[in-house]
């Protein structure tokens, strides 16, 4: 069993990749959820965490909207 690590690109490239991906869940799966370890700048890590927060807020809003 191996250790799956992900080296993050610099912040500008990471932002570009997110735009090109167009799907935050897929983007986060690649860069945050699937790896066992993440290596990169603090700015890139903070960006991933902010994207994750935005996605969770969207999901909660959609769930609440659908339940009413």
37-39 and 5-7 strand pairing? parallel
Give the mean model confidence (pLDDT) for residues 50-63: 94
| pLDDT at position 16 | 98
Tell me the pTM: 0.87
How far apart are alpha carbons 7 and 32 in whole angstroms? 11
Mean pLDDT of the residues in the chain = 94
Count other Cβ atoms within 10 Å, centred on residue 14.
20
- Spatial distance between the Cα atoms of 42 and 46, rounded to a whole number of angstroms: 6
């Amino acid at each position: 069993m191996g250790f799956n690590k992900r080296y993050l690109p610099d912040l500008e490239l990471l932002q570009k990749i997110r735009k090109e991906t167009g799907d935050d869940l897929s983007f986060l799966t690649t860069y945050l959820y699937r790896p066992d370890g993440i290596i990169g700048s603090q700015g890139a890590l903070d960006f991933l965490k902010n994207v994750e927060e935005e996605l969770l807020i969207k999901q909660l809003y959609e769930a609440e909207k659908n339940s009413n």
